[in-house]
């Protein structure tokens, strides 16, 4: 496959009375300029069809109007999964002025209904995560207690193992 990519053939036709180096150079420049423009246009079209997380500038460039919602949770990754599921274009901005960080979620105004459905699903998943979270906290506490007990056991063991003369 690499050989196919590396061995690209270009065919140019030039209508001229005398082929000179200058004519050939101008023809090649024109070809390269057109090829570069075609690649840029293709990249712009591909970028216009992207969905999901994007910069605020790219979101605003779609001229669909933007709305925002405040999210105060650190579990943003779960929202990313839900947004991709619903093909929502959005942008996240972190508000650094507040101590528990809050996030501003910008999305296209025409996606309001879809966004609200996705946001409900995100909140539901988040609540499920919070319900499981106390169990994780208890496990951490038990782990710390276990470590403390193990340290005490190792000290007691050494005292009993000493031999008296």
Which CATH number does the domain housing residue 106 bear?
3.30.70
**Residue numbers of the domain that contains 117:** 56-138
Q: Considering the domain boundaries, does residue 80 fall inside one?
A: yes
Model pTM?
0.44
Q: Considering the domain boundaries, does residue 151 fall inside one?
A: no
Q: Considering the domain boundaries, does residue 29 fall inside one?
A: no
Q: Considering the domain boundaries, does residue 42 fall inside one?
A: no
- H or E, element range at 104: strand 102-108
Q: Considering the domain boundaries, does residue 40 fall inside one?
A: no
Query: Is 111 within 8 Å of 78 (Cβ atoms)?
Result: no
Report d(CA 132, CA 4) in Å as an integer: 54
Q: Considering the domain boundaries, does residue 17 fall inside one?
A: no
Structural domains in the chain (count) = 1
Q: Considering the domain boundaries, does residue 120 fall inside one?
A: yes
**pLDDT tens track, the chain, 165 positions:** 566 666 677 777 888 888 899 988 998 899 889 888 888 887 776 665 566 677 777 777 777 677 777 776 666 777 778 888 888 778 888 888 887 778 887 877 777 788 888 888 888 887 877 777 677 778 888 899 988 888 777 655 555 556 666
């Amino acid at each position: 496959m690499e050989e196919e990519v590396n061995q690209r053939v270009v065919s140019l036709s030039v209508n001229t009375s005398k082929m000179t180096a200058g004519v050939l150079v101008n023809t090649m420049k024109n070809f390269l300029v057109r090829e570069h423009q075609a690649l840029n246009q293709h990249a712009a079209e591909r970028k216009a069809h992207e969905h999901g997380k994007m910069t605020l500038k790219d979101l605003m460039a779609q001229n669909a109007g933007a709305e925002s919602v405040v999210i105060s949770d650190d579990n943003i990754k779960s929202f990313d999964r839900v947004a991709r599921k619903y093909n929502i274009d959005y942008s996240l901005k972190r508000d650094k002025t507040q101590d528990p960080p809050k996030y501003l979620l910008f999305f296209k105004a025409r996606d309001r209904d879809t966004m609200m459905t996705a946001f409900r699903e995100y909140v539901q998943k988040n609540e499920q995560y919070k319900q499981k979270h106390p169990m994780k906290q208890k496990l951490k506490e038990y782990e710390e207690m276990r470590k403390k007990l193990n340290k005490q056991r190792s000290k007691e063991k050494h005292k009993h193992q000493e031999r008296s003369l």
